[in-house]
Amino acid sequence: MPQNVTALPQQIIHRTVLDNGIVVIVVENSAADIIASRLFIRAGSQWEPREKAGLSHLLSTVITKGTAQLSSLEIAERIESVGANLSADASTDYFLLSLKTVSADWSEILQLAGQMLRSPSFPEAEVELERHLTLQDIRSQKEQPFSIAFEQLRQVMYQDHPYAVSILGTEATASRLNRADLELHHQTYFRPDNMVISIAGRVTPEQAVEQVKQVFGDWQSPATPLPIQPLPSIVSQPSQVVTPQETQQSIVMLGYLASPVQAQDYAALKLLNTYLGNGLSSRLFVELREKRGLAYDVSAFYPTRQSASTFVVYMGTAPENTETALVGLSTEVERLCSTPLSPDELQTAKNKLLGQYALGKQTNAQLAQTYGWYETLGLGIEFDTQFQQDVANVTPEMAQAVARLYFLEPYVSVVGPAEAINKLMADS
């Protein structure tokens, strides 16, 4: 059983690979009598066929609703009787079962999680109910200007790639999903050699690994190899998409294809995102809202992704300011290409980014999430130290070079009243 131990600041991260392929990450932290666990499966929405978009999300809503041994009510009673938390979630890059409990009840709740992952029953009534709720969520998003703007931006940027579609799927795909689809997806991807279990709390690595073995040690992977999901290449074709909608404000978004988490530019892009759009002292907030009064809401985001990510700046503004907002956002992004950040600006962004990063690893749940996520994405537990070092090493010249590489012509997405949209189109 291969094993390695990595000493990181304040924590020792233990990584063990079981004979059946499960990777177990353990952080012993006795500050509180709590154990948090994250059970990752590499089965997020990027592994879904396009015509089955929303499959991972629907599976996450139903997997906690019954096993071969227990009904939905019995599961709920077991969890609530000891005051534990147990929930499932799906994202673009992984499927996740999360649990948190006092240490005395951890083995019992882990066994329950094991039943869910290994033998879910997918009750027909629950599948129907959750599909109905998902369709309601999809329709609700079609009434929210921000969601519409981001959806159409994502579609033109990612084209045929699975990232083009919301984790919920579309009305067309979600309405066709059924129990057989869930069972096939589960049989295909839910297997020990496709799994990471990350544990943090009042438990020794030896105890944690032994408990995982008791629950999952007899689970064998099928002889068939994991299917390789060929992802279509993403061709940059910047364009402008607009949707007229009678709203109180216009949403203006600029999007740029950006690097995945494994790329060497990741840390610099995270810094640029922090500088531009993170908080009340960010460049976009100060320049476009405080000084010019253009924005109700203005920010930037650059999500961590296994495949190509997006770097997005956006603003909610009065309809009559739609065009001015677009110019203002463009100007601020272009400034990063033409003018290097001052040493003080860059250091402030570093302090903010690294400070928030440290605060994101305070609880056992956060520790289990962070290290399990890194392992699942193929980064390894060493990435925690590497990322912080990469951020510290970024110079103004490096940040400018990265800006020039990625912030070329943007994709543009606008949602707002027809009059503002028509004026924008006429002037562009």
Quick: pLDDT tens for 118-149. 999 999 999 999 999 999 999 999 999 999 99
Q: How much is the pLDDT for 349?
A: 97
Mean pLDDT within 15-41: 96
DSSP single-letter state for residue 252: E
Strands ordered across the beta sheet of 3-8: 3-8, 11-17, 23-28, 195-201, 34-41, 95-102, 85-90
Reported as a single tens digit per residue, the pLDDT across 68-117 is 999 999 999 999 999 999 999 999 999 999 999 999 999 999 999 999 99
- Rounded Cα–Cα distance for residues 116 and 240 (Å): 44
Q: How much is the pLDDT for 10?
A: 54
Task: Please name the helix (run of DSSP H) or strand (run of DSSP E) that holds residue 134, with its range, or none.
Answer: helix 124-141
- Rounded Cα–Cα distance for residues 3 and 16 (Å): 4
In this predicted structure, the answer to whether residue 4 has a pLDDT above a threshold of 60 is no
As a whole-number percent, the residues of the chain with pLDDT over 70 amount to: 98
Task: Please name the helix (run of DSSP H) or strand (run of DSSP E) that holds residue 411, with its range, or none.
Answer: strand 411-416
Q: What is the average pLDDT score of the chain?
A: 94
Q: How much is the pLDDT for 7?
A: 40
Say if residues 399 and 346 touch (Cβ distance below 8 Å).
Answer: yes
Mean pLDDT within 338-367: 96
Q: How much is the pLDDT for 6?
A: 47
Reported as a single tens digit per residue, the pLDDT across 237-283 is 999 999 999 888 999 999 999 999 999 999 999 999 999 999 899 99
Say if residues 421 and 321 touch (Cβ distance below 8 Å).
Answer: no
In this predicted structure, the answer to whether residue 1 has a pLDDT above a threshold of 90 is no
- Based on its alpha-carbon atoms, the radius of gyration of the chain, rounded to whole angstroms, reads 23
Q: What angle do CA 234, 309, 21 make, to 5 degrees?
A: 95
- Rounded Cα–Cα distance for residues 316 and 158 (Å): 23
Say if residues 245 and 419 touch (Cβ distance below 8 Å).
Answer: no
Q: How much is the pLDDT for 292?
A: 92
Cβ–Cβ contacts within 10 Å for residue 102, how many? 16
Query: What pTM was computed for the model?
Result: 0.93
Which phi and psi angles does 222 have, rounded to 5°? -65, 160
pLDDT band at 31 (very low <50, low <70, confident <90, very high): confident
Q: How much is the pLDDT for 9?
A: 45
Mean pLDDT within 174-183: 97
Q: How much is the pLDDT for 228?
A: 85
